[in-house]
Structure 1
Amino acid sequence: MDLELVRTLLHYGLHFLFPGIIAYVLFPSMWIKAWLIMILTMLIDLDHLLATPIFDPNRCSINFHPLHSYFAALIYFIMLLIKKTRIVAVGLLFHLITDVLDCLWL
């Protein structure tokens, strides 16, 4: 199998499927709602619209895009402490972890 295809499948699998597992484990009484919220955290990628080119498969998003920065990650960690924002924070942080893995792949 082509390594680029494996990378793409792994990346999007971690972005869309694995949050379902996280939701089921961390928020079992409302895992479907939690999964949908975590999927909505994909909106973090709107900051890619600020880059030229918008999409570059060989660019590491971490600390390149504003919502993928270390400062943003600190805010997401703080959000973990607030019950009302905890699911969103988990989704955002896992998104960043997924992107870090993608950067390591490069």
Structure 2
Amino acid sequence: MLHIVLHVLVPAIVALVFYRPRWHRVWLVLAAGLLLDIDHVLATPMFDPTRCRINFHPLHTYWAMGIYVLLLFSPLTRVWAVGFLLHMALDYAECWQLGIRWPQ
């Protein structure tokens, strides 16, 4: 439950700190990084609280993260990229909490 709250709260903090004049709109885009979890429907079981998502689900792979980093270079996709990378960082933090230090 805390993990889900962080996926909403951390983007709000980032939007408030770095995008103050239009933080509402930016927060919505950053929080939309949760859309990456659509790839969980491909897994069996769909949700496993003991499984590290990093490098398990297709949109959570290191290759996908490389694409998210490339999206940072375009002003048109930068906020989306930040949202996706925040999502990956929060999922990695959960792996760390599970005791998985470097997902395979």
C-alpha distance in 2, partners of 1:40/1:95?
9
Alignment match, 2:41: 49
Picking from 45, 70, 74, the partner of 1:78 is: 70
Gaps of 5+ in 2: 99-104
- The amino acid that maps onto 1:57 is P
TM-score (norm 1): 0.89
Point out 4+ residue stretches in structure 1 off by more than 6 angstroms.
none
Alignment match, 1:3: none
Q: CA deviation at 1:17?
A: 0.8
Paired positions, count: 98
TM-score (norm 2): 0.90
Kindly report which structure 2 residues correspond to 1:23-102, keeping only aligned pairs within 5 A, or say none.
23-102=15-94
| Structure showing the higher helix proportion among its residues | 1
Alignment match, 2:101: none
- The amino acid that maps onto 1:54 is M
Identity %: 48
- The amino acid that maps onto 1:34 is V
